[in-house]
Chains A and B, each alone.
Chain A
Amino acid sequence: MCGIVGLFLKDPELEPELGRLLADMLVVMTSRGPDSAGFAVYGGGTADHLKITVRGPNLDEVAKALAGVAVATKRDTHMVLSFAASAEDQVRGWIALTRPDLVVTGTGKRIELYKEVGLPRQVADRFALPAMAGTHGIGHTRMATESAVTTDGAHPFSTGRDQCLVHNGSLSNHRSLRRKLEHEGLNFATDNDSEVAAGYISWRLREGDSLTAALEAGLEDLDGFYTFVIGTENGFAVMRDPISCKPAVMAETDQYVAFGSEYRALVGLPGIEQARIFEPEPAHAYVWERN
């Protein structure tokens, strides 16, 4: 069992509240996943800048070494490095050469991605999620059933720029799909089946699919149980497997689209009493995008 949540804002006035709302949703899902938690937030960004979120020890040393190249924002075990897009090779080169122990959790213009072992409340507070602003975000609370409780096993998984995915369920053909995707040039950081799903979507998007087309292709190629919530730079998507094995409930108002594994996760959202509450249909790609 796991809990997943997502919040995609339509109303810019709610953007300063994104982190607080997402944190509350995440914490309600503790009963579905008390082992570890993670989230991705799409905050501010500019066309000619990049952000890399890294995780590892001695982050102050990273900030110092890259001073003048990247602006470093440390949050507990993670650090966001923000730099001119032209400096990407320099930053990546330095990490590869000097700090290969660092784990890059996410890269993009706007994405920041944090995950840790522990209760969702603790994880949200360690990274000061409630204070984060943004247009959309997704989160996951994990109850590990098959693999170890480690930070690597926590969601979201990011396998492409500004792309990330959270998954409730399990895939049965992830090994063969992984080989196929590796053949296509994708790299995976973990043995996790959900990372393969993320990689699959990234691959389809890379090949020119729209987010909707990528998800619809996934209905054919992904075998197993899943409810996915996916973030891209400007988009937010939800899809459930053809027998809707894993729970999902959504709420939509003029201000936002919200997803929760259970309705309880949505009760703190503004205007929820008037929201259109619905259960996403199985085998249907739901996509919202900002222009």
Chain B
Amino acid sequence: MPAKEQAIMVDLAVTSKRDLNAALHALPTNTNETHWRVANPEGAHALAAGVNAPVTIEIDGHAGYYCAGMNQLATVIVNGNAGVGVAENMMSGRVHVKGDASQAAGATAHGGLLVIDGNASARCGISMKGVDIVVKGSIGPMSAFMAQAGNLVVLGDAGEALGDSLYETRIFVRGAVKSLGADCIEKDLRPEHVEILSQLLTDAGVEGVSPSEFRRYGSARGLYNFHVDNASAY
């Protein structure tokens, strides 16, 4: 096993968050400074937001709002909880929250993988546009609201109004769903879905859980497709 390169330590009790983020933003994609560790985050907002380089950033503690927002290429690991909007609008890369995530986790994200070891609260994956989200705990109400593309995988339960006004995001839930939102229905778990789910569980480091334990939910496509009966209205 090769020796792990020395991580660059940033202590937010000493260094300002702006300086940290500026240093991360300045990294070229071929940087040698590939491993960063952030101490004393104390719930600060916008930590490691807007990074665009294939580096690993570990946050040792709880993060505030919009941690790893707009992420591209980077792996951001939160060794704690994350506040509102973790990985919102992520384009690529990987964000891993070891604790719980607050509201709107992965909101509007286009790509990459968001893994939450604990629970995510309300509106997880709201308007997601291609990101894959794996939540090992449960998710709160109004999750995947107007979700457009990507996969939301939940090992626990889902709160009220799951997938309301859903477009083409696939939702996989292993536990109970409190209620489905408008135009969200249960669908068959076909072989191609088992394949997708299996890969996502592997990518998220989930072991001992079979894709067959999940139920799939998706759009009934009754809301966002034009209904010919309404043609006379124009």
Contacts and interface: CB of A to CB of B under 8 A. Distances in A.
A264 B43 contact: yes
B43 A267 contact: yes
Interface in B60-112: 62, 64-65, 81, 83-84, 99-100, 102-103
A71 interface: no
Interface in A236-291: 243-244, 247, 249, 262-264, 266-267, 277-279, 281-282
Contact of A244 (B42, B65, B121): B121
Interface string A98-122: 0000000000000000000000000
A262 B83 contact: yes
Interface string B39-74: 000111000000000000000001011000000000
A263 B83 contact: yes
Interface string B102-130: 11000000000000000001100000000
A244 B103 CA distance: 9
A266 B81 CA distance: 13
Given A249-B102, A279-B100, A263 B122 contact: no
Given A243-B142, A267-B43, A277 B121 contact: no
B181 interface: no
B163 interface: no
A277 B62 contact: yes
A270 to B, nearest CB: 15
Contacts of A282: 122, 140-141
A264 B102 contact: no
Contacts of A279: 100, 102-103, 121
B103 A247 contact: yes
B84 to A, nearest CB: 6
B151 to A, nearest CB: 24
A247 B102 contact: yes
B43 A262 contact: yes
Interface string A29-44: 0000000000000000
A263 B62 contact: yes
Contact of B122 (A243, A262, A264, A278): A243
Nearest to A280: B121
A264 B82 CA distance: 11
A281 B159 CA distance: 10
B64 A264 contact: yes
A247 B121 CA distance: 11
Q: Nearest 7 pairs between A and B by C-beta? A: A263-B43, A264-B43, A267-B42, A279-B121, A244-B122, A263-B62, A279-B102
26 contacts: A243-B142, A244-B140, A247-B84, A247-B103, A249-B83, A262-B83, A263-B64, A263-B83, A264-B42, A264-B43, A264-B44, A264-B64, A266-B43, A267-B43, A267-B62, A277-B62, A277-B81, A277-B99, A277-B100, A278-B100, A279-B100, A279-B103, A279-B121, A282-B122, A282-B140, A282-B141
